[in-house]
Amino acid sequence: MVHEQQPWLDVPFGEKDDAKAAGALWDWRAKRWYAPRPGMAELARWLPAHRDETPPAEAASDEAEPDEAAPPDPAPPDPVAVPPEVLLAEALRWLTEPNVLARLTRRRPPWRVLHAVPAGAGHGDLDHVLIGPPGVVTVTVERHPGQAVRVDGDRFTVDGEDVGHVPRARAQAERAGRLLGAALGGDAEAAPPVIAALAVDAASVTPAPGGELPAGVLVTTPASLSRLVTALPAALDDREIDELYAVARRLGTWTRDL
């Protein structure tokens, strides 16, 4: 199943039953509640933009005893304990949710996001697939917490040890392009532009002194990926994005034997 990006919800533990009754669903991979579809008014109180607002049922009463102390605010989550997939989902959320300008102009956000996209037998899953003005960005999340990452072309080292992340990410992007091209029309010209991206959870991600960035692969942190992809030159218009997204949502697109 290809999972669409849906609005994340900030649901305190004590309110989980209320949120579930209102229609919220639990994402076991991200360990977060989410709305099954955008615009659900019954879940609006748990949208991140509304968490600073006190729900009427929980508003402090004017008749409260003066010695009643308000419960302390919950401690913010420890960033080290948050999976990089969740950090990336937060960073990408604004790609699919309208900002102030989009609301004023009534223009929907141009980006679409899919999660856990199967890449075929023996090829694993694509962590995230982004579809927007630059085309398609296939995102692989790599975890190297607390370690130093250096990049020089296709050479990707973790604390000085070579790993093969860059060629694998490029191969996944190329395969995604072939699969989407086949689903769109079957020839090379039908394939959309596809860029690979590595979102690396590490203490540092830096280019080697005098080194080069890998061709066709973005290497960055989960929090910075959305900024990089929006800076890519546009290649698709809204109609083409919608057509490509409709094809990418079909499971059969990704399970072809190519």
Output the tens digit of pLDDT for each of the chain's 258 residues: 555 555 778 888 778 788 888 888 876 656 677 787 777 788 888 887 544 444 443 333 344 444 444 444 444 444 445 666 676 777 777 777 765 544 554 556 789 999 889 876 667 789 899 999 999 999 998 999 889 999 999 999 999 999 999 999 999 999 999 999 999 887 656 788 999 999 999 989 998 888 888 999 999 988 888 888 989 999 999 899 999 999 999 989 998 877
Paired with 220 in beta bridges are: 199
The H-or-E segment that residue 142 falls in is strand 135-152
d(Cα 124, Cα 153) in Å, to the nearest integer? 24
Q: How many CB atoms lie within 10 A of CB 57?
A: 7
Query: Which residues are CB-neighbours of 70 under 8 A, at least 6 positions away?
Result: 60
Query: Which residues are CB-neighbours of 139 under 8 A, at least 6 positions away?
Result: 88, 126, 127, 128, 129, 130, 197, 198, 199, 225
pTM: 0.66
